[in-house]
Amino acid sequence: MILDQKGETDLLRAIFDALPSLVFVVDQDVRILEYNKPASDLISVDREVILKQRTGDILFCIHSTETPGGCGTAPHCKDCVIRNSVMSAFRGNSIFRRRTRIEIIRDGTKKEIYALITVSPFIFQKESKALLVIEDISEIAELRRMIPICAVCHKVRDDNQAWGQIEAYFRNKWDVDFSHGLCPDCFKNEMDKLEQYKKAGNTHQQPT
């Protein structure tokens, strides 16, 4: 399939809108320059209102209303993962990825969203911009809080009420494998045990 310039533009737009996560094109001040359909469906505001607005103002972040200046001007904004991720991506010219908890106001009610934030900087028409992707991982975060785990042996109870190793649970549930090692404290403890074992063995040896 060979496309002309308009066809290529339409294809890229279709792909952009097909992405299931919220995707924004932003500048260094986290002002929105473009966005995809899932973002539009969530925000439900006219395009003219969205463009050039800061992300926190459009997403109804609870801190965006704390000061007249809006998003980026409240005391809490200095710790904002979205803003800091965008700034870090621009400074390092590299992809930045972090998890965070976002508090927003919806229909007068505060709502918490656990999100994975990905920022990827790029150059377009000789200007620096960034792709800001917000993935809702609230379901995964909730599941992590609800996983029953034994306080003594650390086995995990699965959906069939069977108890098993945590590695097996994640392998079967999420297709995740683990690599194993020793933290510094456990390494020291194991080495101490080994030394004690060696000393005990020498103590019981018969003299020649």
Pull the structure tokens for residue 97. Answer: 């990825």
Q: What is the pLDDT of residues 34-59, one digit of tens each?
A: 999 999 988 888 888 899 999 999 98
Question: Based on the number of CB atoms within 10 Å of its own CB, is 115 exposed (0-12), middle (13-18) or buried (19 or more)?
Answer: buried
Chain segment 19-33, per-residue pLDDT in tens? 999 999 999 999 999
Q: 149 and 159 in contact (C-beta within 8 Å)? A: no
pLDDT in tens, 193-208: 988 888 887 655 555 5
User: For residue 116, which of 20, 3, 13 has the smallest C-alpha distance?
Assistant: 20
What confidence score (pLDDT) does residue 70 get?
A: 93
User: Which domains does the chain show, CATH number per domain?
Assistant: 5-142 (3.30.450.20), 147-200 (no CATH)
Which pLDDT does position 152 carry in this prediction? 82
Query: In this predicted model, what pLDDT tens digit does every residue of 159-168 receive, in sequence order?
Result: 778 888 888 8
The CB-side HSE value for 170 (13 A sphere, CA atoms) comes to: 11
Return the minimum-mean-pLDDT range out of 92-101, 111-120, 169-178. Answer: 169-178
Q: Which amino acid is at 105?
A: I
Binned at pLDDT 50, 70 and 90, residue 12 comes out as very high
Q: How far is Cα 86 from Cα 62, in angstroms, rounded to an integer?
A: 19
Residues 53, 46: Cα–Cα separation, whole Å: 12
- Taken in order 19, 113, 43, 57, is the CA torsion positive or negative? negative
Average pLDDT, whole number, for the chain? 86
Q: Are 115 and 135 in contact (CB under 8 A)?
A: yes
Residues 51, 56, 60: CA angle, nearest 5 degrees:
100
Q: How far is CA 59 from CA 26, 43, 182, in A?
A: 14, 7, 43
Question: What whole-number distance in Å separates Cα of residue 163 and Cα of residue 151?
Answer: 13
Q: Report the candidate in 73, 75, 25 with the shortest Cα–Cα distance to residue 50.
A: 25
Residue 113's beta-bridge partner residues? Answer: 102
Q: Which residues contact 47 (CB under 8 A, 6 or more apart)?
A: 40
